Each structure stands twice: as structure tokens, then as C-alpha cells.
Amino acid sequence: MRKSLLKHFVETALQGLFWLLPIAAILFIIFWFYGKIDTITLKIFAYFGIQIDGHSYIWIAATIVILAFTLYVLGFIVNTKLASLFETLFAKVPLYSTIKDIVNIFNSSKKGETKVLVVAIRGFGNAGYNIGLMYSQKESIIKEHYTVTLSQSPIPNGGFMFEIHKRDIFVIQNATFDNNLQYLLSMGVKSLAEILKAEPKGIDELVPLEEWLKKK
């Protein structure tokens, strides 16, 4: 009885941990960045001799505005040649390229040939389809084949890579890396249709990769 209660407690606690981790990670980054901008804002006010005593709401509003503007500027720079220049300089730093590639895996806002696609493939199992990810749409070393990754569940820190012919790859539009991650963490308790809040579709209703590439 005690073992059963302990097991129930541990399993429930782990569920709470894995539910909390992504929220905590995002909040940690936001508050860390906010703290840095907060310090800069205080120095700016002090430089111009502005007293914020009794008007803290002005300081908080200014900090939020500067934070939002800074993020916008960084996002804008990413799409310019200036970002390429910085990357060229930092590329000489050991491990920079490796770390950048790892971080980019989790960036679901990428565009062009590096956009993350959620796809359905056939041919891995004896029947049916598998949901996987395409981290780029660059053709494989094998002509007309593309790399699809099938992640493990519930902890997607590993998986398998397959070279799949484009005729056997179907793009699940409006699905993102984050949606696929939720699907993996739920171990199928939540269907991808439920996560996307969409009706299930027939395979013929999905966009074949070949057509998707032509529209790109």
C-alpha cells in the first residue's frame, strides 16, 4: 500500500515537473532579459537626472517598451546581412557553430529552407503513418529524398533520421515544432488534431511535399 502511494506521488510529482519546466524556462529568460533592460533604463534616467521616486509606473512602462523594442531590433537584424557578418566573425569561436545549430533546432519561426515542418511519412512501419519533423527542405545526398526525423516519446532527446522519397512525405500545415513537442510529451494521450484544434484529415487532404516545394 505504501509503495503504491509512493509510486503515485512520484509519478504525479513528475507530471507537475514536466508541466512546469517549459513555463519556468521561458519565464527565466524573460525575467533575466527584463532585469538587464531594467538596469539600463535606470542608468538612462539617472544620466538625464530624472527622478522616478513616486512614479515607478513610468519606469516600469519605459522598461517594457525598451525591452519590446530591443527584441524587435534583434529580430530585424536576424534577417539582414549584418547578422551574417556577426555569424562570420563568431564562426571562428570554438563550438559556436555547434551551439547555434542546436539552438536553431528549437526555433519554430525559421523561414525558407530551414523552416521546421511537421510531416507524415509512410514506409517506416508495416502499415499506417508516422509523424515526424523536417528541420530543413534541402535535398538529401540521395536524389529526390529528404531527411525526416522521428523523435522519441515522452522525452524527445533522441530519435531516428530517415531519408524519405518526397512522394512519401505529406506536410501537416499549421503544425509547428511546439505542437509536435506537445504531442510527444503527451505520449499520444492528446492527438495532434486535438493539439491543433482541427478536424482529422484524410491523407489525400494533406499537402504532398513535392507540391509544397513548388509553392514555396
Residue 96, domain member (yes or no): no
Residues 195 and 122 in one domain: yes
Helices (H) and strands (E) in the chain, counts: 7, 6
pLDDT at 177 over 60: yes
CA distance 169 to 134: 10
Query: Is residue 132 a contact partner of residue 148, using CB atoms and an 8 Å limit?
Result: yes
Residues 125 and 58 in one domain: no
Residue 51, domain member (yes or no): yes
Confidence category of residue 98, pLDDT binned at 50, 70, 90: low
pLDDT in tens, 23-82: 777 778 777 877 777 777 777 777 777 666 656 677 677 777 877 887 777 777 766 666
Count of structural domains, the chain: 2
Residue 14, domain member (yes or no): yes
pTM of the model: 0.54
pLDDT in tens, 115-136: 788 999 986 666 788 899 988 8
Instruction: Please name which of 43, 107, 46, 49 lies closest in space to residue 75, comparing C-alpha atoms.
Output: 107
Confidence category of residue 146, pLDDT binned at 50, 70, 90: very high
Residue 154 is part of which domain span? Answer: 112-215
| Residue keyed to cell 519605459 | 62
Last residue of a domain, one of 79, 99, 133: 79
Residue 94, domain member (yes or no): no
Q: According to the per-residue pLDDT averaged within each range, which of 2-6, 207-211, 212-216 is highest?
A: 207-211
Residues 211 and 124 in one domain: yes
pLDDT at 112 over 60: no
> Where are any strands of DSSP class E within the chain?
117-122, 129-134, 145-151, 159-165, 169-171, 207-208
* Residues whose CB is less than 8 angstroms from the CB of residue 47 and which lie 6 or more positions away in sequence, other chains included: none
Last residue of a domain, one of 79, 102, 132: 79
